[in-house]
Structure 1
């Protein structure tokens, strides 16, 4: 595949493997961060800036959605596209419930196998153990979420909003960004978020806040396809400076510095639930540098056959696989006294398994494609079949 980029950094007309590569890094980083207490965790992006892999994943997801649905949501096709989007939301919901149940089973199995009942007090499991009936209903209704199992539920909620985003975009991209930004700001100022049923809190990742990053990715990708991304020297300098300041802030723990000036926390804080502005700007600054610096852009444009591209291409399956591996890893670390060396070896093995699973998914897709082509060929008349083979 050739990478047909324009002089202003526009995206390729064919599949943009850069999205797959960055998404693969985000997925692998999420896995590493979801097995806390090992050495590799200290090397991930969260240790060098305000945002982490979750922000990168949602931004790339918005960009991918722009490619998948942006040009198709037009008169005569809106109902069909909306139904496809809702079906995807249902898939994400089912995936979330499935991983949550498997997570509970992994920790409950660990408690039984190793005789460690204290495992059932980890990652917000205790409420379901103590109040099983209410807990199960709360899980199904997304009113209770286990730790490290809260991205897919937020992502499913974003897909439920997507038809509305697409309709607004058809009216005006500026209107969509204005509505989305206003919703983000109001949710952050007045702490508006879906509630948890078993406690007084709310979702760890608030979709009313995170939708703004999703929409920025969506509209940014559609603009890039139409007009490219202009390289602005001032924006490049500001983005690089912001990333540097952010890294120093985190590395040297300057959290006691108060620059809020009485403004709402959503504009000056570092809250992940409501996606405070410093986190939002951080991921956007990084994305701008990746998109407009040719060396970085070329580095990420790997061939379709590259293992990283495969990991990013099968994002949902890989994410579920990584979540299950991470939950097993947490249990094993817990019962081994949280030995960081053991955890590091486990994570390295888990990363290798990510690539192996992506390879298997590619092989499975190729087999299914060959079988489908063979069946289609056999359905043709004999003369047409012979002509097709030639």
Structure 2
């Protein structure tokens, strides 16, 4: 990945284990911003929490989801693209589908434990509002039907929508990867046309109950995933000249400023007149479900600015203070699932104990610390497994 056109963010997905260290040549920005996205997702999932005002969703049209999906595509193409060259299409496709299956199993496990957590709180405190807030009423009313719908990825309680989206994108990735390797520009163009068709006709996958659709429309979000894959297979190098252009940087920065003012106008009365009614009729609604053009452009503009401000060889990337964020980025699946549990637990404490500012900040910091602790534990265990495997190999070689 080039130092200039590389993406600014990225969450693990396809990799089979912890990411290599910086010494192996890995772009630490990927794990760094992936970890930051996971922290933001956790904070955003805790309602009535002042700490979530620091997340990027409050400063522009896009949020951590764009980071997650783009980097997932980038990583999938980078990891499995190399395997495609060495192992062929059939073996590589099988590995991708195996990873998608692992994510599916993780989703079912998360669903069961998460619903158990919600059901316990609802029953113990006799407060059905928790079930309503977390989108679990259907499960409590018809658990057998809801469970089947969850197996079909149609029923998803609150805060779990990202994982089914990623499962769908990865499960359909084998033919896309092959096409990206052979016809990268044509494949990206076809992906863009599908995204554009969604903007016009709004088709989506059905959800559960029957009046709902997928919160993250996979027909729209596939473009960001495919664009990440295109960049991961060398497209980022081709964008170097564009990203290094001062004019592009100025346009990106200007768009970020305008989007910031628009978002602030939603919360700050003095700026309410910043968006004229005629303009509002054109730009609203800024759909997250269908990845509206304004959200997509905001993410791309943000990526341009961040790539320019944070070069790949920036010494600060190796500062110890950033290590916790990088660790979380190296174990995104586990950290994301853990964050879902923690966010509901924090929501419960804020409702039942106290919603004071001190408690909000304490729970936010505690949740992030626990996520870091989990990632550190997983990294330690992975190192122990590698060391044990190396010793076994040495013993076999010594005895032969």
Q: Normalising by structure 1, what TM-score?
A: 0.88
2:330 maps to 1:308: no
**For 1:19-61, what per-residue CA distance to the aligned partner results, in whole angstroms no more than 9, with x for missing partners?**
0000010000000001111110112111100001111111111
Report the number of matched residues.
375
Separation (CA, whole Å) in 2 of partners of 1:60 and 1:5: 15
| Corresponding residue number in structure 1 for 2:52 | 41
Structure 1 pair 337–122 and aligned structure 2 pair: CA distance change class (3 A): farther
Structure 1 pair 371–105 and aligned structure 2 pair: CA distance change class (3 A): same
35-44 or 163-172, larger mean C-alpha shift: 163-172
Deviation at residue 143 of structure 1 after TM alignment: 1.4
Separation (CA, whole Å) in 1 of partners of 2:76 and 2:108: 23
Separation (CA, whole Å) in 1 of partners of 2:394 and 2:315: 40
Deviation at residue 299 of structure 1 after TM alignment: 6.4
| Corresponding residue number in structure 2 for 1:77 | 88
Separation (CA, whole Å) in 1 of partners of 2:310 and 2:121: 49
2:107 maps to 1:91: no
Give the secondary-structure state (helix, strand or coil) at the position aligned to 1:81.
helix
Give the secondary-structure state (helix, strand or coil) at the position aligned to 1:319.
helix
Structure 1 runs of 4+ aligned residues shifted over 6 Å read none
355-364 or 106-115, larger mean C-alpha shift: 106-115
Gaps of 5+ in 1: 385-390
CA contact (8 A) 1:21 1:300 kept: no
CA contact (8 A) 1:21 1:302 kept: no
CA contact (8 A) 1:35 1:330 kept: yes
CA contact (8 A) 2:29 2:317 kept: yes
Give the secondary-structure state (helix, strand or coil) at the position aligned to 2:61.
coil
2:289 to 273, 279, 285: 273
2:188 maps to 1:177: yes
| Corresponding residue number in structure 1 for 2:210 | 199
Gaps of 5+ in 2: 8-21, 267-271
**For 1:165-194, what per-residue CA distance to the aligned partner results, in whole angstroms no more than 9, with x for missing partners?**
112212311111111111111123222111
75-84 or 155-164, larger mean C-alpha shift: 75-84
Structure 1 pair 17–296 and aligned structure 2 pair: CA distance change class (3 A): closer
Separation (CA, whole Å) in 1 of partners of 2:280 and 2:175: 34
CA contact (8 A) 1:27 1:319 kept: yes
2:259 to 233, 236, 246: 246
CA contact (8 A) 1:10 1:227 kept: no
Structure 1 pair 294–343 and aligned structure 2 pair: CA distance change class (3 A): closer
Structure 1 pair 294–128 and aligned structure 2 pair: CA distance change class (3 A): closer
**For 1:123-144, what per-residue CA distance to the aligned partner results, in whole angstroms no more than 9, with x for missing partners?**
2111121122211111111111
Separation (CA, whole Å) in 2 of partners of 1:295 and 1:82: 33
2:40 to 26, 29, 48: 29
- Aligned-pair RMSD on alpha carbons? 2.5
Separation (CA, whole Å) in 1 of partners of 2:161 and 2:303: 24
2:366 maps to 1:349: yes
CA contact (8 A) 1:333 1:342 kept: yes
| Corresponding residue number in structure 2 for 1:379 | 396
Greater per-residue helix proportion: 2
Q: How does 1:152-171 map to 2 (within 5 A)?
A: 152-171=163-182
Separation (CA, whole Å) in 1 of partners of 2:313 and 2:258: 23
Deviation at residue 301 of structure 1 after TM alignment: 3.4
**For 1:49-96, what per-residue CA distance to the aligned partner results, in whole angstroms no more than 9, with x for missing partners?**
000111111111122122212233248610011001001111111111
Q: How does 1:15-26 map to 2 (within 5 A)?
A: 15-26=26-37
275-284 or 167-176, larger mean C-alpha shift: 167-176
